[in-house]
Amino acid sequence: MIAQWINWSGSADLLIFFNGWGMDGRPFSRLDSAGLDVLMFYDYSNLELPCDITALCREYSTCCLTAWSLGVWAAANALSGRQLQFSSASAINGTLQPIDAEYGIAPEIFQGTLDSWNAVSRKKFYRRMCVSLEITAAFYALEPERDADSQQQELAAIQQMVLQPSALPCCNLFDRAVIGREDRIFPAAAQEKSWAAAGIPCKNTAAPHYPFAGLRHWKELIDFEQN
């Protein structure tokens, strides 16, 4: 796992953001931190945190957690068992059971994405992720600086961790979930079932899987369901 400080200015408030699979900070580089300290995690080839997150959070008056897509599963696993108090913890377009016919991505679809992944199929995936031509064009302009091989290796590692017989159920850290009705990666119906089973309130939006195109500030990710 990679940690990247988007902003570290000594603010009293910290946002911890678990990015999606295959991502890095580039698609979010246009967002203004507006004085908020922002720590991003990405690349879930392993779930070992590269910093002492518990000690770090103690340095702030408030800590908020936002996770997107497969980052929802990664955050729940990587932060499990730690003494962390979040002012809010939002899951966006993801579930705790990411490879699951009922509560996540159907296993055969996940496998098909993994098997066919290359520079060409990646473009098709991004189009499905963004849905509209306008959002897709904006995303292409700031797409991750990751090569297809590294993304495929990460996806294979996630699959192995999720499906290994010894895998423990995710410990839910989230107090709210945001579901995009136009999500073509994590089906909205599967997200609704997953969070209903966990007893977590959901907010439905009209957004695609990549729902951040209209945001201007990192603070908007904290109360994302209000946007």
Helices 148-163 and 107-116, packing angle to 10 deg: 150
Q: Region 134-141: what's the mean pLDDT?
A: 96
Expressed as residue numbers, the domain containing 201 is 2-226
What is the per-residue pLDDT across 64-80, written as a single tens digit (0 to 9) for each?
999 999 999 999 999 98
pLDDT digits 0-9 by tens, 148-194: 999 999 999 999 999 997 766 677 899 999 999 999 999 999 999 99
Confidence of residue 226 (pLDDT cuts 50, 70, 90): very low
Residue 140 phi, psi dihedral angles, 5° rounding: -55, -35
The helix (run of H) or strand (run of E) holding residue 107 is helix 107-116
Question: 183 burial class (0-12, 13-18, 19+ CB within 10 angstroms)?
Answer: buried
CATH number at residue 95: 3.40.50.1820
Residue 227 has a pLDDT of 45
Residue 225 reports pLDDT greater than 60: no
Structural domain total, the chain? 1
User: Order of strands across the sheet with 13-18?
Assistant: 2-7, 37-42, 13-18, 62-68, 88-92, 176-182, 202-208
